[in-house]
Amino acid sequence: MAKDVVEILKEIGKVGLNADGSYTRNAYSKEFFQAVDVIKGFMQELGMKITTDAAGNVLGVLPGNKPELKHIIMGSHLDTVEKGGLYDGAYGVTGALAALFALKEKNIKLNHTVEVYGFNGEEDALGGTFGSRAVTGLIAADNKLLNEGIQTYGHTVEEILACKRDLKNAKCYLELHIEQGERLDEKKINIGVVSGIVGIVRYKVVAHGTSNHAGSTQMFRRKDALVGMSKLIVKGNELCKKIDPDMVFTVGTITCAPGAKNVIPGRVECCFEMRQLEKAKTDALIAAIKAAAPEIPDCDFTFEPEMYAPGVLCNPKIMETLQTVAKTNSLSYVVMPSGAGHDAESMGHHIPIGMIFVPSKDGFSHCKEEWTSDKDLQNGVKVMSGALELLDKEA
């Protein structure tokens, strides 16, 4: 009996589960490596050759009949955001393995060697998509976040840079993922065939004001950094909508110093994040925000680029294959971009990629409400295994 994706996910669901039903598996955490062990068990059952690397990734390789052919790579991430959901990332890894179990059940042995990655650090740690960027050589030796942060995880920069692999033997990369938005669920569409993954730009923005006594400093004398930062955030929100309705702008982190209830904040630090397929749009937004900053009287601002993950387009031929398989399985589908970042973006800078989305109930993700029906999970695996069979007919 083939291992169903729901069954494999249940095993992952025992790892990193919080009392409120959310999941926390931070990069390099105990829970993360427990999830790696669960995945290794299923990879063993498939007869895969299993390796791990200093970036925390796990890789299973299933040799094909024709070892001279390029490899088909699948995967996603096993880490989660703090108090995230069961499906983000884990569905892509478990779904890839379930697709291989389904082929095994039908006694189908592919000609192409197939690889499955369980990546580490796709969420925010070390700049995001950390494990897949390490494998694809997209982390520069002088990367600030890497140099400042990797020692915390007991590794060296050299060890991470050594995770880079040769992709000359790779045919393509496919990733199964929940949509993390409401479009498929709202329109009752079974499958999203992803056209591209947005670029992600992050800036460290600091508001510099003057700390002072909250009681004795008159309002007109204040240089309140939190008031100033608040005005800049609202301005950024308005500018984003004005420049492009498909662009998104988020300020998800804020630190306020000195952080006392009776002291006017003198320094406030935030991460300004913007996403769009076209870099020109995010460039226009940060330029407009910087131009607006001097008009805010409360404080001065500094802007420091923190991260840039360029957007990538999915391979049109693979997209066609995915649409063909959806049709053969009488599954409705729509071609759509991904507003979320994915490990496929790292791979997409080097080899052809394809992504399959399945619906997220009410669009929730990165929270305990994240949920996808068993049927939708299984539909995605059906498309993935069908695509493997079609791609296997190619060189």
Residue type, 136: T
**DSSP, residue by residue, 238-290:** HHHHHH-TT-EEEEEEEEEES--TTEE--EEEEEEEEEESSHHHHHHHHHHHH
Residue 376 binds to ligand HGY (criterion: CB under 6 A):
no
Are 272 and 290 in contact, with CB atoms under 8 Å apart? no
Which partner from the list ligand HGY, Mn ion, none does 128 bind, CB cut-off 5 to 8 Å by kind? ligand HGY
Are 59 and 117 in contact, with CB atoms under 8 Å apart? yes
Q: Which stretch binds ligand HGY (CB under 6 A): 95-103, 122-130, 161-169, 220-228?
A: 122-130
What is each CA distance from 316 to 170, 195, 319, 335, 358, in whole angstroms?
17, 8, 5, 11, 19
CB of 191 to ligand HGY, least distance (A): 20
Q: Which is nearer to Mn ion, 88 or 224 (CB)?
A: 88
Q: Which stretch binds Mn ion (CB under 5 A): 88-96, 97-105, 135-143, 269-277?
A: 88-96
Cα torsion angle, 347, 348, 352, 355, sign:
positive
Residues facing residue 333 across a β-bridge: 191
Residue 196 binds to ligand HGY (criterion: CB under 6 A):
no
Q: What torsion do the CA atoms of 315, 327, 365, 149 make, to the nearest 10 degrees?
A: -30
Q: Which is nearer to ligand HGY, 128 or 354 (CB)?
A: 128
Residues 128-167, mask of contacts with ligand HGY (x by CB under 6 A): x---------------------------------------
Which partner from the list ligand HGY, Mn ion, none does 341 bind, CB cut-off 5 to 8 Å by kind? ligand HGY
Q: Which of 163, 42, 23, 128 is nearest to 86 (CA)?
A: 23
Q: Which is nearer to Mn ion, 365 or 379 (CB)?
A: 365
Residue type, 209: G
Are 212 and 390 in contact, with CB atoms under 8 Å apart? no
**Quick one: which H or E segment has residue 80?**
none
Residue 86 binds to ligand HGY (criterion: CB under 6 A):
no
Residue 122 binds to ligand HGY (criterion: CB under 6 A):
yes
**Residue 280 burial (C-beta neighbours within 10 Å; 0-12, 13-18, 19+):** exposed
How far apart are alpha carbons 347 and 355 in whole angstroms? 11
Residue 386 binds to ligand HGY (criterion: CB under 6 A):
no
Residue type, 242: K
Residue 341 binds to ligand HGY (criterion: CB under 6 A):
yes
CB of 90 to Mn ion, least distance (A): 9
Residue 88 binds to Mn ion (criterion: CB under 5 A):
yes
How far apart are alpha carbons 176 and 245 in whole angstroms? 27
Residue 75 binds to ligand HGY (criterion: CB under 6 A):
no
Total Cβ atoms within 10 A of residue 362: 12
Q: Which is nearer to ligand HGY, 122 or 224 (CB)?
A: 122
Compute how many residues bind ligand HGY; rule: CB under 6 A: 5
Indicate which single residue of 115, 123, 224, 376 sits in contact with ligand HGY (rule: CB under 6 A).
Answer: 123
Residue 89 binds to Mn ion (criterion: CB under 5 A):
yes
Which partner from the list Mn ion, ligand HGY, none does 209 bind, CB cut-off 5 to 8 Å by kind? none
Residue 340 binds to ligand HGY (criterion: CB under 6 A):
yes
Give contact residues for ligand HGY (rule: CB under 6 A).
122-123, 128, 340-341
- Which residues lie near Mn ion (CB under 5 A)? 88-89
